[in-house]
Structure 1
Amino acid sequence: MKVLFVASEAYPFIKTGGLGDVAYALPKALRKLGIDARVIIPKYSSIALSFKNCMESVAAFSVQVGWRNQYCGLEYLTYDEVPYYFVDNEDYFKRPGTYGYYDDGERFSFFSKAILESIKYMEDFVPDIIHCNDWQCGIVPALLKENYSYDKLYSKIKSIFTIHNLQYQGIFPKEILGDIIDLDHKYFNDDALKFYDVVSYMKGGIVFSDAVTTVSDTYSKEIRTPFYGERLDGLLSSKADKLYGIVNGIDYELYNPKSDEKILYNYDATNIKGKVKNKLALQEKLGFPVDADVPMIGIVTRLVKQKGLDLIVDKLQELLSFPVQIVLLGNGDGYYEDIFQYYASIYPSRISTNIVFDEKLAQQIYASSDMFLMPSLFEPCGIGQLIALKYGSIPIVRETGGLKDTIIPYNKYTGKGNGFSFSNYSNKELLDTIIRALELYKDKASWDKLVQNAMSSNNSWENSAENYKDLYNNLIK
């Protein structure tokens, strides 16, 4: 079986969020199952020169974008035993960053067309499945059916569209349909790409793909309701027969405290003394009182409302009245940045605010913290809580999306569970849950058992890859 995994980013070449991790880890896991999985992404200017120097030219051809024929280069390299293709066009991709440009609709229309044209030049590789991810390649399934189904090379190719976050939909003026995408005006209707009075790339992926997946089972159900559905709940409910929830995993070769080179002291579930050493070192680094008995709460997140930061802000003053240390890492909304920086200036021995993206510090926080706070308003899957589990940092989460699917509430009577959770989006429930965790922390034996449970949780890509393999096989059959 051959699968072309299409994404707008992939670790280690370019990564802005969880999609980058998935685009690296899932194809890698699929290849271990005997699937010829390959990845195709744009060739951004910010990809490291060390990678660019290793790329081999495959082909150069033209891609029609409206009335223009645009140059497209196709390049190739193998990384970690996974083949990667790169779509090259300097007008579209030789820019800082990845998204947020005025012409993103045109850029990713070009990318989508280039993907389909590239198949003609991939030696000995015609995919059985094109696996598209998020709005940036949402029109691939529509283009495949409209412009390529007549071609024998493409006639048997099936498409899958994975929703990583329904909030980001790729919304553009309706004129883009004919001027840029080159699809007939008949596609501007409620059963195709029309979304109110604009065009939605996300909707295109949902409507025209042969199967739609989301990144957790709970999220696949939530998005069929008005609260989570981002005005697509009706459409998603009507497509329930082809909608699947498959929870993400993490790559334990990347995220493993036993071998992680970004942390100071390695450890595993059989010997967690190294975790305490990491905590003491981080306390000293951040200017906290160095004390192994003070519970440390880690927060590694984008500073946006989705992540439940309102709940934390509402109770932060009260939380800091407890003997705790809080380490926050992330950037985003200036409102949240200012609030957390203010509290760090008032309580420097209790809270450290780090407004930066720092992967090394993130790993050190996972390895050092006793608890990991993630009270999201919604969370399609979430990777932070999975990393925290592996590093023995006990997640405190709200029961939504992938958080509900991966965190089992601790039961003090049976000793089972791997974290703490609460159901309603309530600052009182958040604080009560943190207090429960702090109380258990005082019981050394029970806490150590909980840490063992967390680190023994299996959230690798193996199970998820098997589920995708089954879905691929069903589509082909």
Structure 2
Amino acid sequence: MKVLFAASEAVPFVKTGGLADVIGSLPKELAKLGTDVRVMLPKYEDIPLHYKERMERIAEFQLQMGWRQLYCGVWKLDMNGVIFYFIDNEFYFTRKGCYGYGDDAERFAFYCRAVLDSLQHIDFVPDVLHCHDWQAGMIPVLYRAHFSHQPAYAHIRTVMTVHNLKYQGVFGKEQFQDYFALGEEHFSGYALELHGGASFMKGGLLYSDFITTVSPTYAEEIQTPYYGEFLDGLLRSQQYRLQGIINGLDYDEFDPMTDPHVTTHYRDSLTKKQLNKLKLQERLGLPVRKDIPLIALVTRLVDQKGIALIDRVIAELMELDLQWVVLGTGEPQFERLFRWAADAYPDKLSANLLFDEALARQIYAGSDLFLMPSLFEPCGIGQLIAMRYRSVPIVRETGGLKDTVTPYNEATGEGTGFSFANYNAHDMLHTIRRAVRLYHEPDVWDKLMANMKKKDFSWRKSAQQYAELYGRLAAGV
């Protein structure tokens, strides 16, 4: 089985969010199952030099995009047994960052076209072309319009994976007609049209052979108006070819026994985990105390992550016998909130308004509790890392958080964390109070640790589900 992933970012080359973690780790697990899986990314300026120096240029050709004749190069790098291809055009990709430019529609139109055009140059024609998020969303449209009738490519099946439906790649209809040379029939209400323009994401959803998203609950949620971002009707109509497959975690990359950023390595030893906590408290300037629970927030400080709930009850939270560590950047009002709290309660809260991977790992290892009160969360990786590092998650029951964190039941001793259902600040506050109370009951904490130990959130099961899906598609089932 030959599979080509088309995505806009991947660890370890370039990362802005959880998509990069998936594209960096899922192919490795698929390769273990015998799938010949390869990945195609844009060749961004931000890719570290030591990776660029290892790349080999394997093709260059002229690409037709609308009326434009454009240079396209393809570079190749073998990384941990997985081949990565990089689409090269300096005008589009030699600039800082991945997204946020005024010509993003043109940049990713070029990328989508280049993925398909490069197949004849790289000696690899996949059975399945797996497209991820809006940046690759027009690939199934272009395949259907320009490639599916060619004998060499007619067998290819396409999969579209939604990592976050909120981001849809909506641009002007005129731009789509210009870049993609598509007829008027592609811009009716049932085709690419959205919000008066046209959408990369909608194209991927409609023209692919199958749709997946990153958790079973999110697959259900996006078929409702509350979570559906105006595409819920379309998704309900396509539910027969929609499946939620939970994201996994790279257990080699995230391992408290071997993590180079962790001070004292451990697996299930609470005593050793406590040593990391004391070191973290010392580093952050918090009172060094074993007996007080330390709660972590490692996230983007944006509405989606539920920071508004914390804002609503910040005074009550600061009254709890609890320490906080916050790591992340985001919207100015939320950064101001945590700066204020750190100034007003220096013995209670440490605000680290930056991104620091080493500090993030130390926080996972040193914290007792990990908070994710998200408004919506397609899958979430923070709660998976937290459980791997034996930090007990407190989550809102949405998307992948609901699928991965089992609420603790005091009667049966079952559960791996704490959760609340409604997007409500006082429900969150009540849940945090309960977690703090139970932290001081060693028997309960031992049960939570034992329950987390039994869980397997590695990519193994999810990769098997993807491999089965590819097999069904290739067989025409």
> What band does the TM-score fall into relative to the shorter chain?
over 0.9
1:114 corresponds to which residue?
A: 114
**Is the counterpart of residue 23 in structure 1 residue 5 in structure 2?**
no
1:376 corresponds to which residue?
A: 374
AA in 1 matched with 2:279: A
Q: CA RMSD in A?
A: 0.8
Shift of 1:122: 1.7
Shift of 1:446: 1.5
Question: 1:391, 1:455 within 8 Å by CA — same for their partners in 2?
Answer: no
Partner deviation per Cα, 1:65-124 (whole Å, 9 max, x = no partner):
22111100000011111110000000000000000100000000000000001111122x
2:228 corresponds to which residue?
A: 229
AA in 1 matched with 2:251: Y
Partner deviation per Cα, 1:313-346 (whole Å, 9 max, x = no partner):
1112111111111000000101100111111011
2:187 corresponds to which residue?
A: 188
CA distance in structure 1 between the aligned counterparts of 2:443 and 2:224, rounded to whole angstroms: 42
Q: TM-score, normalised by structure 2?
A: 0.99
**Is the counterpart of residue 329 in structure 1 residue 337 in structure 2?**
no
Shift of 1:415: 1.3
Secondary structure, aligned partner of 1:132: strand
Shift of 1:455: 3.5
* The one of 412, 415, 438 aligned to 1:414: 412
The runs of 5 or more residues in structure 2 that have no matched partner are none
1:32 corresponds to which residue?
A: 32
Shift of 1:201: 0.4
CA distance in structure 2 between the aligned counterparts of 1:122 and 1:137, rounded to whole angstroms: 19
Mapping 1:27-426, distance limit 5 Å: 27-123=27-123, 125-269=124-268, 271-426=269-424
CA distance in structure 2 between the aligned counterparts of 1:383 and 1:51, rounded to whole angstroms: 25
CA distance in structure 1 between the aligned counterparts of 2:142 and 2:65, rounded to whole angstroms: 13
Secondary structure, aligned partner of 1:448: helix
Shift of 1:177: 1.9
Partner deviation per Cα, 1:157-194 (whole Å, 9 max, x = no partner):
00000000000000101101221122122111122111
AA in 1 matched with 2:64: Q
Question: 1:390, 1:456 within 8 Å by CA — same for their partners in 2?
Answer: no
Question: 2:249, 2:384 within 8 Å by CA — same for their partners in 1?
Answer: yes
Partner deviation per Cα, 1:206-262 (whole Å, 9 max, x = no partner):
000000001000000000000000000000000011010000000000011111111
Secondary structure, aligned partner of 1:397: strand
Question: 1:408, 1:418 within 8 Å by CA — same for their partners in 2?
Answer: yes
Question: 1:177, 1:185 within 8 Å by CA — same for their partners in 2?
Answer: no
Shift of 1:196: 3.4
Partner deviation per Cα, 1:12-41 (whole Å, 9 max, x = no partner):
000111000000111111000000000010
Secondary structure, aligned partner of 1:438: helix
CA distance in structure 2 between the aligned counterparts of 1:238 and 1:212, rounded to whole angstroms: 12
CA distance in structure 2 between the aligned counterparts of 1:335 and 1:319, rounded to whole angstroms: 18
- Tell which deviates more after alignment, 130-139 or 445-454: 445-454
Shift of 1:412: 1.5
Shift of 1:444: 1.3
* The one of 451, 455, 458 aligned to 1:457: 455
CA distance in structure 2 between the aligned counterparts of 1:198 and 1:122, rounded to whole angstroms: 34
Question: 1:278, 1:364 within 8 Å by CA — same for their partners in 2?
Answer: yes
CA distance in structure 1 between the aligned counterparts of 2:327 and 2:64, rounded to whole angstroms: 43
CA distance in structure 2 between the aligned counterparts of 1:127 and 1:253, rounded to whole angstroms: 28
2:428 corresponds to which residue?
A: 430
Partner deviation per Cα, 1:404-453 (whole Å, 9 max, x = no partner):
00000111222111000010011111011001101110101211221232
CA distance in structure 2 between the aligned counterparts of 1:471 and 1:398, rounded to whole angstroms: 30
Shift of 1:153: 1.5
Question: 1:177, 1:188 within 8 Å by CA — same for their partners in 2?
Answer: no
Partner deviation per Cα, 1:105-147 (whole Å, 9 max, x = no partner):
0000000000001111122x21000000000010000000100
- Percent identical pairs in the alignment equals 52
Secondary structure, aligned partner of 2:401: helix
Secondary structure, aligned partner of 1:288: coil
CA distance in structure 2 between the aligned counterparts of 1:150 and 1:450, rounded to whole angstroms: 56
AA in 1 matched with 2:27: P
Aligned residues: 475
After TM superposition, which residue ranges in structure 1, 4 or more long, deviate above 3 angstroms? none
CA distance in structure 1 between the aligned counterparts of 2:156 and 2:40, rounded to whole angstroms: 16
CA distance in structure 2 between the aligned counterparts of 1:410 and 1:182, rounded to whole angstroms: 55
Q: TM-score, normalised by structure 1?
A: 0.99
Shift of 1:149: 1.2
Shift of 1:198: 0.4
Shift of 1:311: 0.7
Shift of 1:63: 1.4
The runs of 5 or more residues in structure 1 that have no matched partner are none
Secondary structure, aligned partner of 1:320: helix
CA distance in structure 2 between the aligned counterparts of 1:79 and 1:317, rounded to whole angstroms: 48
CA distance in structure 2 between the aligned counterparts of 1:169 and 1:176, rounded to whole angstroms: 15
Secondary structure, aligned partner of 1:253: coil
CA distance in structure 2 between the aligned counterparts of 1:7 and 1:155, rounded to whole angstroms: 22
